[in-house]
Amino acid sequence: MACQNLVDPDSSPSQVLSSATIVAKHTSALCNACRLASSKTANPTAKRHFVQSAKEVANSTANLVKTIKALDGDFSQENRNTCLGATAPLIEAVENLTAFASNPEFASVPAQISNEVRLHTSGHF
């Protein structure tokens, strides 16, 4: 959504700056999550994939930031188009990471209600 706001022709300079801040904050958190996941997995292929994903997210974010700086200096349609082009690799990197991390091997174990709780709460809902 922040990437869409960046390239929206109706976005004001302050909205662009706010969206850029959101993108930077969230991509930084994603990179940190990748590093953490990489350190916690014993699977060497997964470890490499998380590290590579962090690099792709970081590099595409850095490229997007360059275009945002140019856009901030001149809100021309050309700069908006360049910025739009720079959002695509970031979105793709995030989608690829999401698909990989959604693998059941890495997804959190869903919470389950224990039989003991079921016995104590049956009939109370």
Asked whether the predicted pLDDT for residue 57 surpasses 90, the reply is: yes
39: in domain = yes
Q: What is the mean pLDDT of residues 92-109?
A: 79
**One-letter identity of residue 120:** H
8 A C-beta contact, residue 30 and residue 97: yes
Report residue 72 as tokens. Answer: 């901030």
| Residue 47, burial from CB neighbour count under 10 angstroms (0-12, 13-18, 19+) | middle
Q: Is residue 15 part of a domain?
A: yes
Residue 58 lies in a domain: yes
90 in any annotated domain: yes
> Which pLDDT score is estimated for 104?
75
What local confidence, expressed as pLDDT, does residue 113 receive? Answer: 53
Range of the domain at 51: 1-102
Percent of the chain's residues with pLDDT above 90: 46
Determine the angle formed by the axes of helices 77-101 and 13-40, rounding to 10 degrees: 20
Q: Which residue type, as a one-letter code, is found at position 125?
A: F
pLDDT at 95 over 80: yes
Please indicate whether residue 113 or residue 95 has the higher confidence score (pLDDT).
95
Task: Say how many domains are in the chain.
Answer: 1
Which tokens belong to 7?
């390239």
The number of residues making up the chain comes to 125
Q: How far is Cα 58 from Cα 61, in angstroms, rounded to an integer?
A: 5
The rounded distance, in Å, linking the Cα atoms of 8 and 114 is 49
Q: Give the pTM.
A: 0.77
Which CATH number covers residue 19?
Answer: 1.20.120.230
Tokens 């869409």 sit on residue: 4
Average of per-residue pLDDT values in the chain:
83
Position 92 in a domain: yes
69 is written with which tokens?
């700086």
